[in-house]
Amino acid sequence: MKRHRRSSARRTSPSRPTGHDWGDWVVTREPAASAPGERTRTCRNDASHVERERIPAGGEAGTGDEDDKDIVYTFTKGDGSKWTKGSEKDLPFTVSRNTADSTTFSRFTGILVDDKSVDPSSYAADPGSLNVSLRPDFLETLSVGEHTITAVFDDGRADAGFTIVKKTSGSSSSTKKRSSGSSSGTRSSSGNSGSGGKKGPMTGDTAPVAMWAAIAAAAAAGIGILVFLRRKTKHV
Protein backbone atom coordinates (compact mmCIF):
# COMPACT_ATOMS: atom_id res chain seq x y z
CA MET A 1 0.00 0.00 0.00
CA LYS A 2 1.13 3.49 -0.71
CA ARG A 3 1.31 5.90 2.18
CA HIS A 4 -0.16 9.33 1.61
CA ARG A 5 2.19 12.07 2.68
CA ARG A 6 0.73 14.83 4.76
CA SER A 7 1.08 18.25 3.19
CA SER A 8 3.90 20.30 4.74
CA ALA A 9 2.59 23.61 3.38
CA ARG A 10 1.81 26.30 5.96
CA ARG A 11 -1.83 26.85 6.79
CA THR A 12 -1.84 30.45 5.51
CA SER A 13 0.42 29.95 2.48
CA PRO A 14 -1.30 29.80 -0.94
CA SER A 15 -1.63 26.35 -2.41
CA ARG A 16 0.99 25.49 -4.99
CA PRO A 17 -0.48 22.96 -7.42
CA THR A 18 1.58 21.55 -10.23
CA GLY A 19 1.82 24.04 -13.04
CA HIS A 20 2.40 27.20 -10.95
CA ASP A 21 4.59 29.64 -12.73
CA TRP A 22 5.49 32.31 -10.19
CA GLY A 23 6.32 35.79 -11.36
CA ASP A 24 8.92 38.12 -9.88
CA TRP A 25 8.65 39.44 -6.34
CA VAL A 26 7.14 42.93 -6.15
CA VAL A 27 7.59 45.10 -3.04
CA THR A 28 4.13 46.31 -1.97
CA ARG A 29 5.23 48.00 1.26
CA GLU A 30 8.71 49.37 1.76
CA PRO A 31 10.35 48.48 5.10
CA ALA A 32 11.28 51.33 7.45
CA ALA A 33 14.03 51.56 10.03
CA SER A 34 11.74 50.17 12.73
CA ALA A 35 8.85 48.67 10.74
CA PRO A 36 8.66 45.72 8.33
CA GLY A 37 7.63 45.82 4.71
CA GLU A 38 6.00 43.30 2.40
CA ARG A 39 6.51 41.81 -1.05
CA THR A 40 4.25 39.64 -3.21
CA ARG A 41 4.43 37.49 -6.31
CA THR A 42 1.63 36.25 -8.54
CA CYS A 43 1.20 33.02 -10.46
CA ARG A 44 1.35 33.62 -14.19
CA ASN A 45 -1.04 30.74 -14.83
CA ASP A 46 -3.64 31.84 -12.25
CA ALA A 47 -3.63 35.47 -11.07
CA SER A 48 -5.85 34.57 -8.10
CA HIS A 49 -2.87 32.78 -6.55
CA VAL A 50 -0.74 35.36 -4.75
CA GLU A 51 2.09 34.67 -2.34
CA ARG A 52 3.10 37.26 0.27
CA GLU A 53 6.36 37.55 2.15
CA ARG A 54 7.41 39.83 4.99
CA ILE A 55 10.40 42.12 4.62
CA PRO A 56 11.71 42.96 8.09
CA ALA A 57 13.31 46.23 9.10
CA GLY A 58 16.68 46.38 7.38
CA GLY A 59 15.38 45.27 4.00
CA GLU A 60 16.24 41.57 4.11
CA ALA A 61 13.75 38.93 2.95
CA GLY A 62 11.72 37.48 5.79
CA THR A 63 10.70 33.95 6.59
CA GLY A 64 7.05 34.30 5.67
CA ASP A 65 5.91 32.93 9.05
CA GLU A 66 2.19 33.05 9.71
CA ASP A 67 2.47 35.50 12.61
CA ASP A 68 4.40 37.98 10.45
CA LYS A 69 1.77 38.32 7.74
CA ASP A 70 -0.81 41.04 7.26
CA ILE A 71 -0.26 42.58 10.69
CA VAL A 72 -2.03 45.91 11.12
CA TYR A 73 -1.87 48.29 14.08
CA THR A 74 -4.62 50.87 14.45
CA PHE A 75 -5.32 53.80 16.77
CA THR A 76 -8.76 52.97 18.18
CA LYS A 77 -8.80 55.96 20.54
CA GLY A 78 -7.34 59.46 20.37
CA ASP A 79 -7.05 59.94 16.60
CA GLY A 80 -8.21 63.50 15.81
CA SER A 81 -8.26 64.57 19.46
CA LYS A 82 -7.46 68.09 20.72
CA TRP A 83 -5.43 69.38 23.68
CA THR A 84 -5.61 72.98 24.95
CA LYS A 85 -2.52 74.85 26.07
CA GLY A 86 -2.44 75.24 29.84
CA SER A 87 -4.44 72.05 30.47
CA GLU A 88 -3.18 69.77 33.24
CA LYS A 89 -4.69 66.63 31.68
CA ASP A 90 -2.86 63.92 29.73
CA LEU A 91 -3.78 63.23 26.10
CA PRO A 92 -4.74 59.51 25.89
CA PHE A 93 -4.47 57.10 22.94
CA THR A 94 -5.17 53.40 22.43
CA VAL A 95 -3.57 51.18 19.78
CA SER A 96 -4.82 47.69 18.86
CA ARG A 97 -3.41 44.86 16.76
CA ASN A 98 -5.61 43.07 14.25
CA THR A 99 -4.29 39.67 15.32
CA ALA A 100 -3.00 38.42 18.68
CA ASP A 101 -3.88 41.76 20.30
CA SER A 102 -2.72 40.41 23.66
CA THR A 103 0.87 40.74 22.40
CA THR A 104 0.50 44.43 21.41
CA PHE A 105 2.04 45.85 24.58
CA SER A 106 4.95 43.38 24.60
CA ARG A 107 5.85 44.35 21.02
CA PHE A 108 5.74 48.11 21.73
CA THR A 109 9.12 49.84 21.29
CA GLY A 110 8.44 53.58 21.44
CA ILE A 111 6.56 56.75 20.45
CA LEU A 112 7.31 59.32 17.75
CA VAL A 113 5.70 62.75 17.47
CA ASP A 114 6.17 64.45 14.11
CA ASP A 115 8.70 61.68 13.29
CA LYS A 116 10.85 62.60 16.31
CA SER A 117 11.50 60.13 19.12
CA VAL A 118 9.77 60.98 22.41
CA ASP A 119 11.52 60.29 25.70
CA PRO A 120 9.68 57.61 27.75
CA SER A 121 9.41 60.10 30.63
CA SER A 122 7.09 62.22 28.46
CA TYR A 123 4.38 59.57 28.19
CA ALA A 124 2.81 56.68 30.07
CA ALA A 125 2.32 53.26 28.46
CA ASP A 126 0.12 50.49 29.84
CA PRO A 127 -1.20 47.13 28.57
CA GLY A 128 -4.76 46.49 27.42
CA SER A 129 -3.96 46.56 23.71
CA LEU A 130 -1.63 49.56 24.16
CA ASN A 131 -2.72 52.61 26.16
CA VAL A 132 -0.46 55.62 25.74
CA SER A 133 -0.90 59.04 27.38
CA LEU A 134 1.20 62.06 26.40
CA ARG A 135 2.02 64.14 29.48
CA PRO A 136 1.10 67.87 29.78
CA ASP A 137 4.72 68.98 30.25
CA PHE A 138 5.60 67.50 26.86
CA LEU A 139 2.47 68.76 25.12
CA GLU A 140 3.26 72.32 26.25
CA THR A 141 6.47 72.20 24.19
CA LEU A 142 4.53 71.59 20.96
CA SER A 143 3.37 74.43 18.75
CA VAL A 144 -0.29 75.28 18.24
CA GLY A 145 -1.61 73.29 15.26
CA GLU A 146 -1.77 69.74 13.93
CA HIS A 147 0.71 67.01 14.89
CA THR A 148 1.26 63.31 14.20
CA ILE A 149 1.82 60.57 16.78
CA THR A 150 3.34 57.23 15.77
CA ALA A 151 3.33 54.08 17.89
CA VAL A 152 6.25 51.84 16.92
CA PHE A 153 6.34 48.05 17.41
CA ASP A 154 8.90 45.41 16.59
CA ASP A 155 6.73 44.24 13.68
CA GLY A 156 4.82 47.35 12.58
CA ARG A 157 3.62 50.84 13.41
CA ALA A 158 0.49 53.01 13.52
CA ASP A 159 -0.10 56.71 12.94
CA ALA A 160 -2.73 59.14 14.24
CA GLY A 161 -3.25 62.89 14.29
CA PHE A 162 -3.99 65.34 17.10
CA THR A 163 -4.22 69.12 17.46
CA ILE A 164 -2.77 71.58 19.98
CA VAL A 165 -5.23 74.42 20.61
CA LYS A 166 -4.37 77.91 21.89
CA LYS A 167 -5.75 78.77 25.33
CA THR A 168 -8.57 81.31 25.23
CA SER A 169 -9.72 83.71 27.97
CA GLY A 170 -12.39 82.30 30.26
CA SER A 171 -16.01 83.32 29.97
CA SER A 172 -16.10 84.26 33.69
CA SER A 173 -13.51 86.98 33.13
CA SER A 174 -15.50 88.46 30.26
CA THR A 175 -18.66 88.40 32.34
CA LYS A 176 -16.88 90.19 35.17
CA LYS A 177 -15.70 92.94 32.84
CA ARG A 178 -19.15 93.45 31.37
CA SER A 179 -20.69 93.58 34.86
CA SER A 180 -18.11 96.11 36.04
CA GLY A 181 -18.75 98.37 33.03
CA SER A 182 -22.50 98.28 33.60
CA SER A 183 -22.33 99.25 37.28
CA SER A 184 -19.87 102.04 36.50
CA GLY A 185 -22.27 103.50 33.93
CA THR A 186 -25.09 103.44 36.50
CA ARG A 187 -23.05 105.36 39.05
CA SER A 188 -22.08 107.94 36.45
CA SER A 189 -25.64 108.61 35.36
CA SER A 190 -26.92 108.87 38.92
CA GLY A 191 -24.14 111.31 39.83
CA ASN A 192 -25.46 113.97 37.43
CA SER A 193 -28.41 114.85 39.66
CA GLY A 194 -28.45 116.19 43.18
CA SER A 195 -25.72 117.85 45.21
CA GLY A 196 -22.40 116.13 45.78
CA GLY A 197 -23.26 113.34 43.35
CA LYS A 198 -26.26 112.25 45.43
CA LYS A 199 -29.60 111.90 43.78
CA GLY A 200 -32.30 114.06 45.41
CA PRO A 201 -35.80 112.77 46.15
CA MET A 202 -38.30 112.93 43.33
CA THR A 203 -41.29 115.25 44.08
CA GLY A 204 -43.23 114.79 40.87
CA ASP A 205 -43.39 116.74 37.65
CA THR A 206 -42.00 120.30 38.03
CA ALA A 207 -44.01 121.80 35.13
CA PRO A 208 -47.32 122.26 37.08
CA VAL A 209 -45.46 123.84 40.02
CA ALA A 210 -43.92 126.48 37.74
CA MET A 211 -47.27 127.19 36.17
CA TRP A 212 -49.00 127.73 39.52
CA ALA A 213 -46.13 129.91 40.71
CA ALA A 214 -46.57 132.15 37.65
CA ILE A 215 -50.30 132.39 38.26
CA ALA A 216 -49.72 133.28 41.92
CA ALA A 217 -47.21 135.98 40.95
CA ALA A 218 -49.64 137.43 38.42
CA ALA A 219 -52.42 137.43 41.02
CA ALA A 220 -50.18 139.17 43.55
CA ALA A 221 -49.26 141.79 40.97
CA GLY A 222 -52.94 142.35 40.19
CA ILE A 223 -53.78 142.81 43.87
CA GLY A 224 -50.92 145.26 44.25
CA ILE A 225 -52.24 147.37 41.35
CA LEU A 226 -55.75 147.43 42.81
CA VAL A 227 -54.45 148.60 46.21
CA PHE A 228 -52.41 151.33 44.53
CA LEU A 229 -55.39 152.58 42.53
CA ARG A 230 -57.66 152.72 45.60
CA ARG A 231 -55.14 154.76 47.56
CA LYS A 232 -54.76 157.18 44.68
CA THR A 233 -58.58 157.60 44.40
CA LYS A 234 -58.86 158.50 48.12
CA HIS A 235 -56.23 161.23 47.84
CA VAL A 236 -57.93 162.89 44.90
Q: What is the pLDDT of residues 16-55, one digit of tens each?
A: 445 678 788 888 888 776 678 888 888 888 888 888 787 8
What is 67-136 written as a DSSP string?
GGSS--EEEEE-TTEEEETT--S-EEEEEEESS-GGGHHHHEEEEEETTEE--GGGEEEEETTEEEEE-H
Q: How far apart are CA 53 and CA 193, in angstroms?
A: 93
- pLDDT surpasses 80 at 197: no
Q: Which stretches of the chain are DSSP H helices? A: 104-107, 136-139, 171-190, 206-235
Note the pTM of the prediction, 2 decimals: 0.47
Please state, rounded to an integer, the average pLDDT across all residues of the chain.
76
